[in-house]
């Protein structure tokens, strides 16, 4: 009898203690956990004809800091299912969604996430066209000429003068080509089927200055990926160096063509790059054929 009574009392105490722990747990959330608000992101990618069947697409999620720098999130990449993309449990803040799909141009979407699901709704993908051509001058095909498009893409002509782009937006685009002392500019209308056998003839042009570097967009701004031997940049920089500003103006988050415009000028002009907080001045040299260092 005494043993049963003791067991009943112990059970009652356990119930009371459990209730107290539940009450305490519900009202005693640490401040740092209470301040974390999670939301989500959803969107749907479709082709220009609103077709998702067989669409190979995906996306990466980037967080954006107050100063405009971006970095991949801890769980960034998604593969679309029938065109749908979804991220859940996203901490509140500023983000960019970078989409990709076979046969279409990459997408870039900025958004703010709070405690709710952010719906970027249905986004029609823009078709990517191809552009093939040859660079010539008065003597024939020009090897190693630089060919640039106004959307920031660039390449060099082959030994036979040929060049090719595989992801060009449909519509109007500017093309520039240059080699030693010669250049050309064209405004092109790119159809859905792309352009082939384009002829770009180089003629004598006013002398433009050259810094001699190629860079890739990164969190730190623009990271040097190639250096032209003998150029002003090659004399000071190394592949892997990253500059955050040109002439004191930040380039973080800017598109490639905007950064390229800041790096241009006449021979003898001075351009200042900010690398790890340090200002480095360069004097633009004479144009030469760009040949990648690697």
DSSP 251-290: -TT--HHHHHHHT--BTT-EEEEEETTEEEEEE-B-----
- In order of 144, 148, 174, 187, 254, the CA distances from 151 in angstroms are 21, 9, 8, 13, 12
Residue 230 CB partners (closer than 8 Å, separation 6+): 212, 288
DSSP state of 170: S
**What's the token pair of residue 69?**
């720098």
The whole-angstrom distance between residue 231's C-alpha and the CA centroid of its chain comes to 27
Other residues' Cβ atoms within 10 Å of the Cβ of residue 148: 18
192 and 170 Cβ atoms separated by less than 8 Å? yes
What gap in Å lies between CA 144 and CA 152, rounded to an integer?
18
Burial grade of 34 (CB within 10 A; 0-12, 13-18, 19 or more):
exposed
pLDDT digits (tens, 9 = 90+) for 50-75: 666 667 899 999 999 988 888 999 88
Nearest alpha-carbon partner for 97 in 83, 82, 118, 111: 111
DSSP state of 125: P
Task: Tell me what the mean pLDDT of segment 33-38 comes to.
Answer: 55
* pLDDT value, residue 13: 38
Task: Tell me what the mean pLDDT of segment 144-163 comes to.
Answer: 91
What gap in Å lies between CA 83 and CA 167, rounded to an integer?
20
Nearest alpha-carbon partner for 109 in 165, 55, 70, 151: 70
- Ranking 110-119, 132-141, 144-153 by mean pLDDT, the lowest is 144-153
What gap in Å lies between CA 43 and CA 234, rounded to an integer?
44
DSSP string of 176-229, one letter each residue: EEEETTEEEEEEEEE-TT-EEEEEEE-EE---B-B--EEEEEETTEEEEEEE-T
pLDDT digits (tens, 9 = 90+) for 218-248: 999 999 998 877 788 888 999 999 999 999 9
* pLDDT value, residue 283: 86
* pLDDT value, residue 30: 43
pLDDT-derived band of residue 34, with 50, 70 and 90 as boundaries? Answer: very low
What gap in Å lies between CA 105 and CA 153, rounded to an integer?
12
- Model pTM? 0.53
What gap in Å lies between CA 24 and CA 76, rounded to an integer?
36
What gap in Å lies between CA 202 and CA 142, rounded to an integer?
9
**70-72 vs 195-201, strand pairing mode:** unpaired
Q: Which residue has the higher pLDDT, 145 or 267?
A: 145
Tell me which range, 5-9, 99-103, 272-276, is most confidently predicted by mean pLDDT: 272-276
DSSP state of 104: B
């Amino acid at each position: 009898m005494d043993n049963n009574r003791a067991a009943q009392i112990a059970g009652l105490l356990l119930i009371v203690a459990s209730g107290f722990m539940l009450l305490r747990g519900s009202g005693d959330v640490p401040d740092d956990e209470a301040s974390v608000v999670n939301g989500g992101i959803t969107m749907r990618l479709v082709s220009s004809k609103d077709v998702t069947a067989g669409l190979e697409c995906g996306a990466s999620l980037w967080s954006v800091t107050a100063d405009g720098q971006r970095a991949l999130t801890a769980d960034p990449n998604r593969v679309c299912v029938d065109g749908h993309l979804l991220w859940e449990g996203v901490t509140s803040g500023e983000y960019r969604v970078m989409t990709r799909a076979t046969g279409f141009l990459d997408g870039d979407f900025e958004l703010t996430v709070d405690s709710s699901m952010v719906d970027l709704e249905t986004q029609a993908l823009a078709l990517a066209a191809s552009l093939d051509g040859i660079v010539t001058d008065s003597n024939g095909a020009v090897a190693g000429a630089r060919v640039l498009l106004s959307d920031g893409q660039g390449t060099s002509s082959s030994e036979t003068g040929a060049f090719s782009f595989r992801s060009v937006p449909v519509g109007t685009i500017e093309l520039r080509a240059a080699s030693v002392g010669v250049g050309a500019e064209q405004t092109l209308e790119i159809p859905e089927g792309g352009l082939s056998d384009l002829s770009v003839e180089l003629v004598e042009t006013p002398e433009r200055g050259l810094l001699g570097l190629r860079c890739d967009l990164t969190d730190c701004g623009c990271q040097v990926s190639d250096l032209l031997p003998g150029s002003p940049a090659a004399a000071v920089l190394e592949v892997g160096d990253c500059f955050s500003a040109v002439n004191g103006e930040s380039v973080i988050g800017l598109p490639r063509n905007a950064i390229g415009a800041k790096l241009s000028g006449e021979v003898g002009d001075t351009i200042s790059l900010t690398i790890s907080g340090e200002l480095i001045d360069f004097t633009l040299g004479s144009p030469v054929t760009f040949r990648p260092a690697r």
